[in-house]
Structure 1
Amino acid sequence: MADSLKEELLQLIKRLGVYLSVKFSNIFPTSVSNLNSRSMGAIAGFAVAVIFTWRLLRSPTGSQRTQKRQAAAPNSSGVNVQTSVAAVPSTSEDLRAQSVIDEFFQPVKPTLGQIVRQKLSEGRKVTCRLLGVILEENTPEELQKQATVRSSVLEILLEITKFCDLYLMERVLDDESEKKVLLALEDAGIFTSGGLVKDKVLFCSTENGRTSFARQLEPDWHIDTNPEVISQLARFIKYGLLLSPSRPKNTALNVISSPSLEQFFGWI
């Protein structure tokens, strides 16, 4: 009896292992091999909890039904014959185990942090222009009047700063424009998250200056609205994100196009 229970438990653990490997590969962007010891311990503990939960949920009537089916049944000649149902309990146990596991793995919408990490392919350094991406304004001339942070990208920006070295950059026409931009970012709370400081907001007087900044920083990603800047940087960076209503022709393979930062991350 003890050997039978051990074998039954072993088979369940094997099925659970295969099932979890598939589930976790879909839920988490990182592979199981990259999990730390604490995460692996949590998964192991969860697996044990599921196994014992399954054991507790097993109905005693199931074994009774199995015994009844194994009992002798008379045939037309009055001779008792024994019905074989060896395969039935195994199938029933498989379904019961999977149903218990499914209850713990109902589809869950990923968090914004998980989406950002997955979309950026675990990139560790990002450079991004301000106009038309982080700010409502689209030209340096508008910045001479005001600077307004787009509320729809604020959460995305804060998530990026949690695990990426983020640099913001823009072309401005005067020192007053710089002050307006920094004040707008400060009022939006971007500097209070700890991931971005004012020294990482860079200003230049030409579009080529933004290209030069990005080349020196060697980011994994550069985000821009100017196709020419993205094209010049494509040879020097891993990925370029061009925010444009349409994808220009002859774009490099490592350049991704999206109408907006929110749509790229699916956060609208």
Structure 2
Amino acid sequence: MRSQHDEGALLSLERLVSIMKRLRDPVSGCEWDSVQTFATIAPYTIEEAYEVADAIAREDMDALADELGDLQLQVVFHSRMAEEAGKFTLDDVLNRICDKMERRHPHIFGNAKDGGHHLWEIIKAEERAANPDKSALAGVALALPALERAAKLQRRAARTGFDWPDASGARAKVYEELDELERETEHQPMFEEMGDLLFAVVNLARKLDIEPEAALRAANYKFERRFREIERAPGFSDMSLDEMEDLWTSAKKSQAASIA
């Protein structure tokens, strides 16, 4: 039995679908929306996902409601374009994710007595086995942010046994890659060694059970907050680096004290 909230959500989704259909009308629709393609909309889809993550990081629930709506719009937008091309519909999209969720939770929706995340991974592995690409790395999206993709590639490889037994091996690899970077003097070799170093740092983060993308996002936020504080100091742009460093240290201490 559906609740009033369920009915309301369905009506809201139908309303959004109707709005997008009208916007995409080649004659009377919006001059911008009606000419978009999957390729031109894809960057907006990625951007909206990041804005959802940003609202969560800021614990801004009002913004999160807005951003989730924007992200939902992306699903409806892509689905509408696909329907126009005769490829699939929004119903197909929703049914596929419903089927997938039920298939991967047989202990909830089926007869399996055992469950949990390990069962989810087993089922995903079985699904990947049906893929012509038999590599353990198959299906890791190229469009993922580089840090996130590196971590996912490493997790996939680790399932085959290709992994350090603990964090010490990953830590040593970071120092090894840093040494190799410092020995290079030409740009292209330095570029490659920097990539290896970043990949090694991601591996260390994984072994420490730290999500590298989230950790770097937090570091970006911390840097921005501190820099905004010190740049308000009178005459900041004319200060020496040592003076700026003193301000930075003070800002670091004051922000640490406020957290404590």
Same structural fold, with TM-score higher than 0.5 when normalized by the shorter chain: no
Q: Which is bigger in relative contact order (C-alpha 8 A, separation at least 6)?
A: 1
Structure number with bigger Rg: 1
Whose strand fraction is larger, Structure 1's or Structure 2's? 1
TM-score, length of structure 2 as denominator length: 0.20
